[in-house]
Amino acid sequence: MAEIVNSGTDRLPSGTISAIRGGIVDVAFAKGCPQIETLLHAGDVPMEVAAIVGDGVVRCIALAPVRGLGLGARVTNSGAAITVPVGEAVLGRMLDMFGAPLDGLPPPEGEDRHTIHRAPPPLSERVLRAEVLETGIKAIDLLSPIERGGKTGLFGGAGVGKTVLLSELIHNTVEHHHGVSLFCGIGERSREAEELWREMGEAGVRDQMVMLFGQMNEAPGVRFLVGKSALTMAEYFRDTRGQDVLVLIDNIFRFVQAGSELSGLLGRMPSRVGYQPTLATELAALEERIASTRSGAITSIQAVYVPADDFTDPAAAHIFSHLSASVVLSRKRASEGLYPAVDPLASTSVMLTPGVVGQRHYDIARAVRRTLAEYEDLRDIIAMLGIEELSAHDRAVVARARRLERFLTQPFFTVGASAGTTGRLVPIDETLEGCEAILSQTTFDHPESAYYMIGGLSDLKEDAA
Q: 188 an active-site residue?
A: yes
Give me the catalytic one of 37, 131, 175, 189. Answer: 189
- Indicate the residue type of 71: L
Residue 363 main-chain phi, psi, to 5 deg: -65, -40
**Neighbouring C-beta atoms of residue 310, cutoff 10 Å:** 13
**Cβ 329 vs Cβ 137: under 8 Å:** no
- Residue 150, classified by CB atoms within 10 Å of its CB into exposed (0-12), middle (13-18) or buried (19+), is buried
**Neighbouring C-beta atoms of residue 437, cutoff 10 Å:** 14
Angle at 171 between CA 166 and CA 177, to 5 degrees: 105
Residue 180 main-chain phi, psi, to 5 deg: -110, 145
Residue 24 bridge partners (DSSP)? 21, 61
Give me the catalytic one of 93, 113, 138, 162. Answer: 162
**Cβ 295 vs Cβ 239: under 8 Å:** yes
Residue 21 main-chain phi, psi, to 5 deg: -130, 100
Cα separation, 76 vs 97, whole angstroms: 20
Cα separation, 200 vs 463, whole angstroms: 31
DSSP 8-state assignment for residue 43: T
Determine the 3-state secondary structure of 33 from DSSP. coil
Give me the catalytic one of 147, 168, 188, 282. Answer: 188
**Which residues are catalytic, by number?**
162, 188-189
